[in-house]
Amino acid sequence: MASATGQIGTAAAASRAPVHQYVAFAVMVLLLVAAPFAIYPIFIMKVLCFALFACAFNLLIGYVGLLSFGHAAFLGAAGYITGHAAKVWGLTPELAIVAGVATSAVLGLVVGALAIRRQGIYFAMITLALAQMLYFFCLQAPFTGGEDGIQAIPRGRLFGLIDLSDMMTLYVVVVIIFLAGFLLIYRTIHSPFGQVLKAIRENEPRAVSLGYDVDRYKLVAFVLSAALSGLAGATKVLVFQLASLTDVHWAMSGEVVLMALVGGLGTIFGPVAGAVVIISLQNYLAQLGAWVTVVQGVIFVLCVLAFRRGIMGELGRLLKRPF
Amino acid sequence: MTELLGIPPQVLFGQVLLGLINGAFYAVLSLGLAVIFGLLNIINFAHGALYMTGAFVAWFLLSYLGLGYWWALLLSPVIVGALGMVLERTLLKRIANLDHLYGLLLTFGLALIIQGLFRNYFGSSGQPYQIPPLLAGGHNLGFMFLPNYRAWVVAASLVVCLGTWFVIERTKLGSYLRAATENPVMVQAFGIDVPRMVTLTYGFGVALAAFAGVLAAPIYQVSPQMGADLIIVVFAVVVIGGMGSILGSIVTGFGLGIVEGLTKVFYPEASSTVIFIVMAIVLLIKPAGLFGRAA
């Protein structure tokens, strides 16, 4: 394996991130610094949690070509464990998050190991079915609180020192978590490992014939994506102080697909843009009730028919630079 | 009264019957999915929503036109099938040459739209639908009470499934369909209108879903959510059975219904998850599915 990854290393060095992506990243960071002075911080934190979730999802569909229709399982499971750890076990926030992320990673290992046994559409159906199984488990398990969820989860003190009940402190922590997750995904995509993932996406039989253990690469990518989705879920629970069935429901799995699709599948900043658009939309359309579902459905249909590159994909095409 | 494995026989057979009914729906729905997938290479995520639409059409026919169950059983599949053909001609046709995953995403969007529209007008609560008078009541078989309507659902589903099998495997029309599944370009070259066949096939698969919806209307309440969770279970059924064989879909559907029914008797906590557990086990042992060909 070592020699195999080394072989691709040259290609990775050649595809070092171009300057415009650094500029885009700097713009994003500046916006994050300025945003809380103009916009309600809880809203931005919600967007950031979903942006991280969508980035993690996009790592699979955009760079390995695997459509997971069950990613809500990882978001929700980490949320429940983090909430339970913070409220019942009284762990500090960072340990609660670690517990949540670890849960999602293990769950990702199990779901991934089963799902990669089939390709394409079957992969999507299997992940959806296994996520639904987790949903029923969460509905029945005593510690999740069933329909009520886990409420009034304490935000606690980070490392036992920093009080997270202060809104701006929490905001800074959430921004750091988001940026760390984002950069990890960015680094993964541009690593030799990421090059192999793209090779699998482009031509799986060829990658096999070149001697790559394709299933192992897929599984590692799946676990990484699940763990990062878990990080998003765990952070979200600390922000809203609530873990509920919404986060494990199939509708949530659909939402993350929509975010990545709107922003641009296989683009680096696309899922972030998609999360901003979809969460803002939900916010403004909230009083319309079930129409939100209809609007999301319409966006799905329109994106698939006429806007398959997504926001960042189209932008990248116009500027002739990948975002 | 004697007991089997510590369970009163009425309970046991009652649950097996309920399982058979669910199995009938799994079989009809997964059959429709398999027929559509064969020719269109699309997993129809809107299948559950169209099953729900079928039930609602029956309810509309009764409430607004006074047309009863038997008319609904005939008209609802026709109406929903026509709707399906319109959807295929206007939307699905446009993405026929793209990655199959786009078909899944498009039909998922359609499912959201259909379910959202119905939820706007009917809320989440269900509308009651009466069992037709001809099938009301039931028979005492000695070891259990058999409601006539439930026996009818199982029988009607079996007839429709086997009829579909016969048409596809034993008639000229079916041979065109199978040929087009194998190689659409070649069949087109022989002068058969493949695009029209694709439209009709989608319409037929969707009509099967609507038929199941009408059958389900008197048993479950007619509600906007009735297809949403069902379709995920049907996906698991499709993964277990594989989509290669029509008889395979039918056997898997009914079989898993019975497994689910038995689980309700012996370990009720797992009844909503047992099909997914079976799916996981099948994936470990025979990844291509029980009746599937290796991809």
Q: Which of B88, B113, B271, B286 to mutate to test the interface with A (most CBs of A within 10 A)?
A: B113
Chain B contacts of A57, Cβ < 8 Å?
none
Residue contact B120–A290, C-beta within 8 A: yes
CA atoms within 13 A on the CB side of A275: 25
Residue B161, judged by CB atoms within 10 A of its CB (0-12, 13-18, 19+), counts as buried
State which residue of chain B sits closest to A123, comparing Cα positions: B239
Contacts of A20 (CB under 8 A, 6+ apart): A319, A321, A323
CB A269 within 8 Å of CB A62:
no
pLDDT higher than 80, residue A5: no
Report the C-alpha gap between A192 and B116 in whole angstroms.
Answer: 44
Classify residue A225: in a domain, yes or no. Answer: yes
| More confident call, B238 vs B295 | B238
CB A86 within 8 Å of CB A152:
no
Of A79-88, B107-116, B277-286, which range is least confident? B277-286
Q: What is the pLDDT of residue B7?
A: 74
Rounded to the nearest 5°, which phi and psi values hold at B264? -60, -30
Closest in B91, B239, B277 to A301, CB measured? B91
Closest in B112, B228, B232 to A300, CB measured? B112
- Number of A to B CB contacts under 8 A, please give it: 120
What average pLDDT does this structure show over B268-283?
Answer: 90
Residue A25, judged by CB atoms within 10 A of its CB (0-12, 13-18, 19+), counts as middle
Report the C-alpha gap between A323 and A317 in whole angstroms.
Answer: 9
Classify residue B172: in a domain, yes or no. Answer: yes
pLDDT higher than 80, residue A12: no
CB B283 within 8 Å of CB A118:
yes
Tokens linked to A25: 């990243």
β-pairing, A162-163 vs A157-158, is: antiparallel
What average pLDDT does this structure show over A297-311?
Answer: 92
Chain B contacts of A119, Cβ < 8 Å?
295
Report the C-alpha gap between A79 and A236 in whole angstroms.
Answer: 7
Classify residue A209: in a domain, yes or no. Answer: yes
Does A297 touch chain B if contact means CB atoms closer than 8 Å? yes
CB B243 within 8 Å of CB B37:
yes
Classify residue A316: in a domain, yes or no. Answer: no
pLDDT higher than 80, residue A16: no
What single-letter amino acid sits at A167? M
Q: Which of A5, A55, A2 is nearest to A196 (CA)?
A: A5
Report the C-alpha gap between B112 and B133 in whole angstroms.
Answer: 35
Classify residue B182: in a domain, yes or no. Answer: yes
Report the C-alpha gap between A87 and A184 in whole angstroms.
Answer: 29
Does A141 touch chain B if contact means CB atoms closer than 8 Å? no
* Confidence tier at A9 by pLDDT (50, 70, 90): very low
Q: What is the pLDDT of residue B72?
A: 93
What average pLDDT does this structure show over B188-215?
Answer: 93
Classify residue B283: in a domain, yes or no. Answer: no
Q: What is the pLDDT of residue B2?
A: 57
Chain B contacts of A299, Cβ < 8 Å?
109
Domain hosting residue A232, numbered range: 2-19+38-249
| More confident call, A227 vs B2 | A227
* Confidence tier at B254 by pLDDT (50, 70, 90): very high
- The full length of chain A comes to 323
* Confidence tier at B1 by pLDDT (50, 70, 90): very low
Classify residue A82: in a domain, yes or no. Answer: yes
Tokens linked to B30: 């997964």
Classify residue A90: in a domain, yes or no. Answer: yes
| More confident call, A50 vs B97 | A50
Rounded to the nearest 5°, which phi and psi values hold at A66? -105, 120
Chain B contacts of A259, Cβ < 8 Å?
none
Convert the pLDDT of each residue in A274-283 to its tens digit. 999 999 999 8
Residue contact A125–B43, C-beta within 8 A: yes
Contacts of B262 (CB under 8 A, 6+ apart): B15, B16, B19
What average pLDDT does this structure show over A198-222?
Answer: 94
Contacts of A86 (CB under 8 A, 6+ apart): A93, A96, A153, A154, A155, A156, A237, A238
Closest in B95, B112, B284 to A305, CB measured? B95
pLDDT higher than 70, residue A303: yes
Q: What is the pLDDT of residue A1?
A: 33
Chain B contacts of A254, Cβ < 8 Å?
108, 112
Closest in A119, A250, A296 to B232, CB measured? A250
What average pLDDT does this structure show over A260-270?
Answer: 93
Rounded to the nearest 5°, which phi and psi values hold at A278? -70, -45
Interior angle at CA B65, CA B62 and CA B66, nearest 5: 50
Report the C-alpha gap between B52 and A213 in whole angstroms.
Answer: 44
State which residue of chain B sits closest to A302, comparing Cα positions: B106
Report the C-alpha gap between B112 and A302 in whole angstroms.
Answer: 13
Closest in A118, A291, A304 to B116, CB measured? A291
What average pLDDT does this structure show over B231-244?
Answer: 89
Classify residue A259: in a domain, yes or no. Answer: no
Number of compact structural domains in chain A: 1
pLDDT higher than 50, residue B218: yes
Domain hosting residue B184, numbered range: 25-225
Classify residue B157: in a domain, yes or no. Answer: yes
Report the C-alpha gap between A323 and A263 in whole angstroms.
Answer: 11
Chain B contacts of A303, Cβ < 8 Å?
105
Classify residue B117: in a domain, yes or no. Answer: yes
Q: What is the pLDDT of residue A17?
A: 58
Convert the pLDDT of each residue in A155-190 to its tens digit. 888 888 888 888 899 999 999 999 999 999 999 999
Closest in B37, B110, B235 to A297, CB measured? B110
Rounded to the nearest 5°, which phi and psi values hold at A241? 55, 30
* Confidence tier at A14 by pLDDT (50, 70, 90): very low
Interior angle at CA A171, CA A179 and CA A226, nearest 5: 45
Residue contact B116–A308, C-beta within 8 A: no
Q: What is the pLDDT of residue A8?
A: 32
Tokens linked to B141: 């078989």
CB A249 within 8 Å of CB A69:
no
Min distance A123 CA to chain B CA atoms (Å): 9
Average pLDDT over chain A, rounded to whole? 89
pLDDT higher than 70, residue A35: yes
Chain B contacts of A219, Cβ < 8 Å?
none
CB B224 within 8 Å of CB B122:
yes
Classify residue A123: in a domain, yes or no. Answer: yes
What average pLDDT does this structure show over B83-89?
Answer: 95
Classify residue A28: in a domain, yes or no. Answer: no
Kindly report the three-state secondary structure assignment for every residue of chain A.
Answer: CHHHHHHHHHHHHHCCCCHHHHHHHHHHHHHHHHHHHHCCHHHHHHHHHHHHHHHHHHHHHHHCCCCCCCCHHHHHHHHHHHHHHHHCCCCCHHHHHHHHHHHHHHHHHHHHHHHCCCCHHHHHHHHHHHHHHHHHHHHHCHHHCHHHCECCCCCCEECCCEECCCHHHHHHHHHHHHHHHHHHHHHHHCCHHHHHHHHHHHCHHHHHHCCCCHHHHHHHHHHHHHHHHHHHHHHHHHHHCCECHHHHCHHHHHHHHHHHHHHCCCCCCHHHHHHHHHHHHHHHHHHHCCHHHHHHHHHHHHHHHHCCCHHHHHHHHHHCCCC
Contacts of A112 (CB under 8 A, 6+ apart): A218, A219, A222, A223, A226
Report the C-alpha gap between A221 and A215 in whole angstroms.
Answer: 10
pLDDT higher than 70, residue A7: no
| More confident call, A166 vs B59 | B59
Convert the pLDDT of each residue in A64-76 to its tens digit. 999 999 999 999 9
CB A76 within 8 Å of CB A252:
yes
Of A17-26, A89-98, B63-72, B250-259, which range is least confident? A17-26
Chain A contacts of B236, Cβ < 8 Å?
125, 129, 132
Residue contact B236–A291, C-beta within 8 A: no
CA distances from A32 to A2, A53, A163, A173, B15 (A): 39, 17, 21, 12, 57
pLDDT higher than 80, residue A6: no
Min distance A121 CA to chain B CA atoms (Å): 6
Report the C-alpha gap between B43 and B104 in whole angstroms.
Answer: 6
Rounded to the nearest 5°, which phi and psi values hold at A203? -160, 90
Min distance B270 CA to chain A CA atoms (Å): 9
Number of compact structural domains in chain B: 1
Q: Which of A190, A219, A191, A192 is nearest to A60 (CA)?
A: A219
Q: Which of A110, A132, A219, A303 to mutate to test the interface with B (most CBs of B within 10 A)?
A: A132
CB B214 within 8 Å of CB B54:
yes
pLDDT higher than 80, residue B5: no
With H, G, I as helix, E, B as strand and everything else as coil, classify residue B126: coil
